[in-house]
Amino acid sequence: MESQTLIFVFAAIMFVAVAMFGYIPMSLDLSSVRLKQLTAIGAGVLIGSAFLVIIPEALEIFEGHEEEEEKEGEEHEEGEESHVEPSTMGLAILGGFVLMLLLEIFGLPHAVHHDEDKHLLGLSATIGLIIHAAVDGLAVGASVSSSTETGLIVFVAIMLHKGPAAFGLSSFLQHIKIDKMKSQMYLLLFALSSPIVAILSFFTLQDSTFATDDNIGLALMFSAGTFIYVATVDVLPEVHSHDHENEAPTWFVIFGMILVFLTTLISHGH
């Protein structure tokens, strides 16, 4: 399949998957207790996806790039190696997290966890995930423009957390009682962000020197940083902001992480 056709196929799959997974919590008539539990599971899925899917996949891309260089017999003098330093990987993750912090300071609605600020909290979480999704789209577009094989690897990695992210966002919006019409609009914006950016970045970066494996891996690391911010700053505090008499929300968060871990085991087993 040609790369131009492939990027449109990937974009369509991303949109449909996000819309389907995001619609599930909206279609269920759940009690407030069940919604809190669902939100806690969603938070665990978000955190688990960052640490168990996105970051490991980026590391695999870095390792694969180094192995290819060794097979091609490329020699690098000591001190002039082309691999990405571990500190640079950490900076990419931190950069995504700090970007979200700066956006909150300079314009992104501050997520104050009180009832009168629920609409701002929902908008804050949505914008954060839209930025994350845009970086995902950039990684997909750049990888497909580089090679269809790399593009497929990156696409699979992103799809492993794309659906769960939509599920987590949707359940969170339901939990904080955002009206259904606004929730659907937020979900639509989230669903469109990755496909649009993927297509634009593909045609912009096609045959450019920017679309390297290292840069794609760094984009995924940056994406993980935005993911961690949304999960820990917007979603997790809301999970713990209520009195839980007979509940242990932390166990539901951990359950969400375990779900992601099981998903990675199944995907690696095939």
In the structure, what pLDDT confidence band is assigned to residue 54 with cuts at 50, 70 and 90?
A: confident
Q: Tens of pLDDT along 171-200? A: 778 777 787 888 889 899 999 999 999 999
- Kindly state the average pLDDT of the residues 10-24: 89
In the predicted structure, residue 123 carries a pLDDT above the cut 90? no
**Better-predicted residue by pLDDT, 13 or 217:** 13
What pLDDT does 262 receive? 87
Mean pLDDT value across residues 2-24:
89
User: Is residue 237 scored above 60 in pLDDT?
Assistant: yes
pLDDT of the residue at 10: 92
- Of 11-15, 73-77, 224-228, minimum mean pLDDT range: 73-77
Domain ranges of the chain: 3-66+86-268
Half-sphere CA count of 172, side-chain side, radius 13 A: 37
- Residue 179's contacts (CB-CB under 8 Å, 6 or more residues apart) are none
Average pLDDT over residues 10-29: 86
